[in-house]
Structure 1
Amino acid sequence: CHKKKLMQGGSVARAILESEKFAVRALTRDVTRSNALVLRDLGAEVVKGDLNDEASVEAALKGTYGAFVVTSFWDHHSKEKEVCQGKLVADAAKRLGLQHVVYSGLENVKRLTGGKLEVGHFDGKGEVEEYFWSIGVPMTSVAWQLTLKTFSPSLPMGDIPMDGISVADIGAVVSSIFNSPAEFLGKAVGLSAEALTIQQYADVLSKTLGKEVRDAKITPEAYEKLGFSGAEELANMFRFYHMKPDRDVKLTHRLNPKVKSFNHKFNSLK
């Protein structure tokens, strides 16, 4: 959703401002939004723009060293529109000679599985990432999945651990990547605070809520028949998670030594 996109951008902007190694220009569709005002008060230059508008993207990127880029699937539920956004930004970054783009991407599941699985909100980001590489933009891609606010004991993972990280911890990771171009330019990085089974996540909930929470042991086949919008796509996402996409817990903790566990984050929300 647009909120998660804002949260990612805000987390990264805050971390970079705190590092004091770069000035920050934040692009937003609504400069009066509270998140934008907070960033402005912290010292960011906040400008109005839209990833669907080439002129505003060009203006936002002009004169910058690099950019953190988040395209949006959930605004319109269209892989094609997300790919158009990404290509627009990539072309502008190439044209303007940006030295380092960090793209919040995900794997192209359809390509990786030979068409057996389609996960629209992954595949579009994967196509964008591949386009950045193909036109020679100096880039690092970061892939991760959120578990803190999306966790449910009815996720079809079986006994396979599922990686997770809080969006609040992404900013410091991305800031570290910008500060280490020699190590990360041209790399795809999978982020994770920890990898736990659904029952291990449920055990955290049980302990903190004071009542038993158990893994429902639902299968992907049963999950996709639950009938809600997007159930089939999410079931395919979990089938892809069964393939254990590359997420590096050790590297994530090196890039952000303060990264929090699910247990710590959940308890901090109580």
Structure 2
Amino acid sequence: MAAPPTVAVFGASGNQGGSVATALLKDGTFTVRAITRNPRKKEIKELKRRGAEIVKADLDNEESLFNALKDVYGVFLVTDYWEYMNKDKEAEQGKRVADISMKLGVKHIVFSGLENVKKLTNGKLDVPHFDGKGEIEDYFRELGAPMTSVRMPDYFENFLDTLKPVKSGKDCYVLDIPMEGIPLDGMSVRDLGGVVLAILKNPEEHIGKEIGLSTDKLTIEEYAAIMSKHTGKTIKDSKIPVEDYTKLNFPGAQELAKMFQFYMKQPDRNKDLTLKLNPNAKSFDEWMSENKNAFMND
């Protein structure tokens, strides 16, 4: 009996890659090859315990990538703008994987992409952590690669970190998210794995497509109301304008402000298709029910 086809999963110790590797291991249709720079990470050791093959590789090292992608059927690729905060560096890494995948005859690449905002808006907006991924998408297409792009929306998990409620008075919190009343798509990153699994199992249906993901489309006021319901705290939309958001004192504020300006244009994110691909993906209300204890334990 032939062994299951192998899928190489980049970023296997991170949020996206970890979700994908976990879903593939649980399903069993594919053998998982977890690609990592650090095999000693606890997340990688856990994947190995569950049956994943572990291969050490670096997106900047061509030889290691050839070794990592040798004899694989498919690839899940996620790139990381934030490590270097350099769009060109991110694009270079993604294109290197594209070139090697084509040389080795990989049958299906699922890439965690995003729109090239600068290109779409004729330079009026630039969102580097989107734009680099958009360049990689374009490059895959130029090569004629068997690629499916999955475009994540805002992670629900960001409400525990970058977008967490800010205390604004006694027992009162606000969400500083400049969407000006326009709904924001969201999804738990943990639910990405089920989506990628479904795509890999039906390549003829998905190769050549860009799939915008979402499990909820809510205004910031609606997100705040759901948070309030589950935490028992008063949480409101601060209704902060984009101009004021750019002045907030944290690294990347201007970058995120531009991202929200793009989100206000309502890029394509398809809730119905997302739930068709992963029927178990959670709404924000369901996600909050499971994660309420992680919120604001002060």
TM-score (norm 2): 0.88
Cα contact 1:5–1:70 (8 A) shared by 2: no
Q: Which runs of 5+ in 1 are unaligned?
A: none
Name the structure 1 match of 2:245: 223
Correspondence 1:50 to 2:58: yes
Correspondence 1:235 to 2:268: no
Alpha-carbon RMSD across the aligned residues, in angstroms, is 1.5
Name the structure 2 match of 1:182: 204
User: Aligned partner of 1:242: which letter?
Assistant: M
User: Aligned partner of 1:162: which letter?
Assistant: L
Name the structure 2 match of 1:66: 74
1:97, distance to aligned residue in structure 2 (A):
0.8
Provide closer, same or farther for how the CA distance between residues 4 and 61 of structure 1 changes in structure 2, counting only shifts above 3 A: closer
Correspondence 1:246 to 2:262: no
1:208, distance to aligned residue in structure 2 (A):
1.3
The more displaced of 224-233 and 239-248 is 224-233
Correspondence 1:105 to 2:113: yes
1:227, distance to aligned residue in structure 2 (A):
3.5
Cα contact 2:74–2:108 (8 A) shared by 1: yes
Alpha-carbon distance between aligned partners in 2 of 1:12 and 1:49, rounded to the nearest angstrom: 18
Show CA shifts across 1:128-173 (max 9, x none): 1110110111000000123322234110002111001111100000
Name the structure 1 match of 2:168: none
Provide closer, same or farther for how the CA distance between residues 260 and 160 of structure 1 changes in structure 2, counting only shifts above 3 A: same
TM-score (norm 1): 0.96
Alpha-carbon distance between aligned partners in 2 of 1:44 and 1:4, rounded to the nearest angstrom: 10
Name the structure 1 match of 2:43: 35
Name the structure 1 match of 2:220: 198
State the secondary structure of the residue aligned to 2:149: strand
Name the structure 2 match of 1:117: 125
Cα contact 2:157–2:189 (8 A) shared by 1: no
Alpha-carbon distance between aligned partners in 1 of 2:263 and 2:126, rounded to the nearest angstrom: 13
**Pick from 2, 9, 20: which aligns with 1:12?**
20
Cα contact 1:5–1:72 (8 A) shared by 2: no
Q: Which runs of 5+ in 2 are unaligned?
A: 1-9, 164-174, 294-298
Q: Which has the higher strand share?
A: 2
Alpha-carbon distance between aligned partners in 2 of 1:4 and 1:45, rounded to the nearest angstrom: 11
Name the structure 2 match of 1:159: 181
Alpha-carbon distance between aligned partners in 2 of 1:3 and 1:158, rounded to the nearest angstrom: 34
Alpha-carbon distance between aligned partners in 1 of 2:84 and 2:266, rounded to the nearest angstrom: 28
User: Aligned partner of 1:88: which letter?
Assistant: R
Cα contact 2:153–2:212 (8 A) shared by 1: no
State the secondary structure of the residue aligned to 1:130: helix
Correspondence 1:86 to 2:98: no
Alpha-carbon distance between aligned partners in 1 of 2:185 and 2:179, rounded to the nearest angstrom: 11
Show CA shifts across 1:8-35 (max 9, x none): 1111011111221111111001001011
1:211, distance to aligned residue in structure 2 (A):
2.3
Provide closer, same or farther for how the CA distance between residues 5 and 20 of structure 1 changes in structure 2, counting only shifts above 3 A: closer
Provide closer, same or farther for how the CA distance between residues 5 and 143 of structure 1 changes in structure 2, counting only shifts above 3 A: farther
Name the structure 1 match of 2:34: 26
Cα contact 2:74–2:107 (8 A) shared by 1: yes
Correspondence 1:96 to 2:104: yes
Cα contact 2:12–2:36 (8 A) shared by 1: no
Show CA shifts across 1:242-263 (max 9, x none): 1101000000001111001112
Percent pairwise identity: 49
Name the structure 2 match of 1:214: 236
**Pick from 118, 139, 151: which aligns with 2:147?**
139
Alpha-carbon distance between aligned partners in 2 of 1:37 and 1:7, rounded to the nearest angstrom: 15
1:4, distance to aligned residue in structure 2 (A):
9.6
Alpha-carbon distance between aligned partners in 2 of 1:84 and 1:172, rounded to the nearest angstrom: 28
Provide closer, same or farther for how the CA distance between residues 125 and 98 of structure 1 changes in structure 2, counting only shifts above 3 A: same
Provide closer, same or farther for how the CA distance between residues 259 and 197 of structure 1 changes in structure 2, counting only shifts above 3 A: same
